[in-house]
C-alpha cells in the first residue's frame, strides 16, 4: 500500500503575492505533478513575497510542521537584488544537493542563453527534498521533464527522474511516475518487484 506523499508548493513573487497579477506558478506545479505522479499526493501551497525571512519560515513550516517530504519553489532565483530564494533555501538546509541546480541550468541552456543567470539550488532538510524551480510554467515543465528529440526520446533527463529515488533514500513515501511524462530512475537494487 502506497503512503501519500505530502508536497509543499511555494510561489515566490512580490507582485503576485500582492495581487498585482495572477500567480501561474502554483497551478503549473500542481497540474504537472497530478499528470506525472501516479501514487497518492497531498499539496500544501503558499504564495509569498520575495522576503528572505518569509521564505525561510515558510520552508521550515512546510517541512518541520506540515510534514512535507518534497517542497518545490518557483521564482526568485535570478540575479536581481530581490531574488533571495536560493539564499533562504540554503539557510534552512542540512545538506546541499548541487546536481539538481546544475541539471536545471543545463536543460534551460538548450532554450535560452540567460539560463546561466539562474541560481536554483536543491537541498535536503530533515526528511525533505527542497528544490528551487524556474518561475515560468513552460520552464518549470522543461526542467522537470528534460529534453526530448524529434522522436520523443529523452535527450537530456529532467531533474524529476531522480526525485523518487532521492525521496526513497531520505525516508519519504515511495512514488511512481507516468513514464510517458517522466520515467523515474531507480537502480536495480532499489526497485520493487512487479
Full 3-state SS string of the chain: CCCCEEEEEEEECHHHHCCCCCCCHHHHHHHHHHHHECCCEEEEEEEECCCHHHHHHHHHHHHHHCCCCEEEEECCCCCCCCCCHHHHHHHCCCEECHHHHHHHHHHHHCCCHHHHHCCCCEEEECCEEEEEECCCHHHHHHHHHEEECCCCCEEEECHHHHHHHHHHHCCCCCCCECCCCCCCCCCHHHCCCC
Averaged pLDDT, 34-46: 97
pTM here?
A: 0.95
pLDDT digits (tens, 9 = 90+) for 152-191: 888 888 999 999 999 999 999 999 999 999 999 999 888 8
Classified by CATH at the fold level, domain 5-190 comes out as Molybdenum Cofactor Biosythetic Enzyme; Chain A (3.40.980)
Amino acid at each position: 500500500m502506497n503512503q501519500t506523499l505530502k508536497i509543499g508548493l511555494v510561489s515566490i513573487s512580490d507582485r503576485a503575492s500582492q495581487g498585482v497579477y495572477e500567480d501561474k506558478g502554483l497551478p503549473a506545479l500542481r497540474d504537472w505533478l497530478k499528470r506525472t505522479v501516479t501514487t497518492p499526493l497531498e499539496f500544501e501551497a503558499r504564495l509569498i513575497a520575495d522576503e528572505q525571512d518569509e521564505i525561510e519560515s515558510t520552508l521550515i513550516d512546510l517541512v518541520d510542521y506540515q510534514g512535507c517530504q518534497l517542497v518545490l519553489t518557483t521564482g526568485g532565483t535570478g540575479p536581481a537584488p530581490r531574488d533571495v530564494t536560493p539564499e533562504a533555501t540554503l539557510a534552512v538546509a542540512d545538506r546541499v544537493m548541487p546536481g539538481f541546480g546544475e541539471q536545471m541550468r543545463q536543460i534551460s541552456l538548450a532554450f535560452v542563453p540567460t539560463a546561466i543567470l539562474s541560481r536554483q539550488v536543491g537541498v535536503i532538510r530533515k526528511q525533505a527534498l527542497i528544490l528551487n524551480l524556474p518561475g515560468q510554467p513552460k520552464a518549470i515543465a522543461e526542467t522537470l521533464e528534460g529534453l526530448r528529440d524529434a522522436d520523443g526520446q529523452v535527450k537530456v533527463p529532467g531533474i524529476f527522474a531522480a526525485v523518487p529515488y532521492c525521496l526513497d533514500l531520505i525516508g519519504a513515501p515511495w512514488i511512481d511516475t507516468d513514464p510517458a511524462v517522466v520515467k523515474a530512475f531507480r537502480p536495480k537494487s532499489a526497485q520493487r518487484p512487479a
